[in-house]
Amino acid sequence: MHTIEDLRRLAKRRTPSGPFDYTDGGADDEVGLSRAREAFRQIEFQPGILRNVSATDTATEVLGKTSALPFGLAPTGFTRMMHSAGERAVARAAADAGVPYTLSTMGTTAIEGLREAAPDGRHWFQLYLLRDRDRSLELIERAAKAGCDTLFLTVDVPALGNRVRDLRNGMTFPPQLTLKTFLDASYRSEWWFNFLTTEPLRFAYGNGRIESSSASELYDNTVTFDDLAWMREAWAGKLVIKGIQTVTDARKAADHGVDGIVVSNHGGRQLDRAPVPLRLLPDVVAAVGSRTSVMLDTGIMNGADIVAGIALGADFTFIGRAYLYGLMAGGEAGVRKCLEILTAEIRRTMALLGVSSITELNPDHVRMPR
């Protein structure tokens, strides 16, 4: 396994189509997903020569603390469907690498499980503001009690995106394990054995299985910027808005005093043909970068992608599919391999650019066609 694509190919062989396509796919025609990845491929690096790069410092500060690498592990739903090791394995790998990990509201491990799995890790929690505000408040209080120092409010899911692969595989909300699912899984004996012999799937937002038959019963599509005041009262830690897709909304979020924003189109899984985060990033940084932390998500599959994002002004970046490919390929060892691959790619790209520390990266190191 030398690249994230190598992990992806192994993951596809070892994982049933339903969980794999849930990870791998996007919304509708997957145009937004392909454009996000293409934007990174179109980047042209501009290296400096005759620089001392005998040592490369990959550490950076994010939301008041140091991360050993310029990326964190993004929140993902149904993680134990990909591999029974699930979020606990991801949290351990992230902690050992010195990077933060964000548990999703739709994660398949209780919030308290992160601290049990990785007591020394930096843990964040991602929240979908629920229709039941009391339930949302309970989640916020649990996250604080479990030691999470940052809350991510995801704002780009007023309705679920049309994920065609999921519909065909029965990966609906809630997941439907159809005859096709069982037959497909039967050819992946290790996945099947783990699924049947480990604890039943349970979700971070509740104490039991998902019983809702409609996403509208969970997600609140009446949420507005006015709700950020309530969030501020309920949460004492850092508050980040994830899912910013226009400069106008970035300014509004900064005006409301959030500690950070994530320029993201939800991995191409919500509105297809949404703005490409990497292309939007420089405009957002110019508009609000002096007032709030600007982070980047969607399409990152190589350490060079991370370097490009930081050079274009991002304070931090996130990976999602990349570490899930590792998880599906080999459980916790696969996640660790993913992080090793990205770390090597970041260090190599920095050295070839003539850069010895993350803080040296700037727009002069990249050229992005418009």
* Closest to 26 measured CA to CA, from 264, 265, 269, 298: 269
DSSP class per residue in 297-362: -S---SHHHHHHHHHTT-SEEEESHHHHHHHHHHHHHHHHHHHHHHHHHHHHHHHHHT-SBGGG--
| Backbone dihedral region for residue 98 (phi beyond 0: left; psi -120 to 50: alpha; all else: beta) | left
SS3 19: helix
266 catalytic residue (yes or no): yes
Termini Cα distance of the chain: 34
Do 305 and 326 form a contact (C-beta atoms < 8 A)?
A: no
Q: Do 316 and 62 form a contact (C-beta atoms < 8 A)? A: yes
Give the whole-angstrom CA distance, residue 350 versus residue 45. 10
Report how far residue 107's alpha carbon sits from residue 188's, in angstroms, rounded to the nearest whole number: 23
CA distance 73 to 94: 7
User: Is 337 within 8 Å of 7 (Cβ atoms)?
Assistant: yes
Burial (Cβ within 10 Å: 0-12, 13-18, ≥19) of residue 7: buried
Query: Residue 115: CB partners within 8 Å, gap ≥ 6?
Result: 123, 146, 147
Whole-angstrom Cα distance, residue 266 to residue 74?
Answer: 10
Other Cβ atoms closer than 10 A to 196? 9
Q: Which of 83, 123, 266, 365 does the annotation list as catalytic? A: 266
Q: Which residues are designated catalytic?
A: 266
